[in-house]
Copies of this chain bind each other. A is one copy, B any other.
Amino acid sequence: MKQTFQVDLRLAESSTFITQLALSQVRLSHNAAFPWLLLIPQQDSLIEVIDLSPHDQHLLIQEIALVSQVMQKLFHPDKLNIATLGNLVPQLHIHIIARYQNDGAWPHPVWNSGVMKNYEPEQKLCRIDLIQTALRQAC
Instruction: Write the residues of chain A forming the contact surface with B, with a CB cutoff of 8 angstroms.
Output: 47-50, 54, 57-58, 60-62, 64-65, 68-69, 72, 79-88, 90, 99, 106-109, 111-112
Given the known A-B contacts A87-B99, A87-B106, A108-B112, are A54 and B50 also in contact in the complex, defined by CB atoms under 8 Å? no
Task: Collect the chain B residues with CB atoms within 8 Å of residue A83's CB.
Answer: 81-85, 109
Kindly provide the distance from the CB of A106 to the nearest chain B CB, expressed in whole angstroms.
6
Task: Collect the chain B residues with CB atoms within 8 Å of residue A49's CB.
Answer: 61, 64-65, 68, 80, 82
Task: Collect the chain B residues with CB atoms within 8 Å of residue A72's CB.
Answer: 48, 50
Q: Contacting A65 at CB < 8 Å: which of B54, B84, B109, B112? A: B54
Measured CB to CB, the nearest residue on chain B to A88 is B107
Interface of A, helix, strand, loop or mixed by DSSP: mixed
**Leading 6 A-B pairs by shortest Cβ distance:** A83-B83, A87-B107, A61-B61, A108-B112, A50-B68, A57-B61
Measured CB to CB, the nearest residue on chain B to A61 is B61
Measured CB to CB, the nearest residue on chain B to A89 is B107
Q: Contacting A54 at CB < 8 Å: which of B62, B81, B86? A: B62
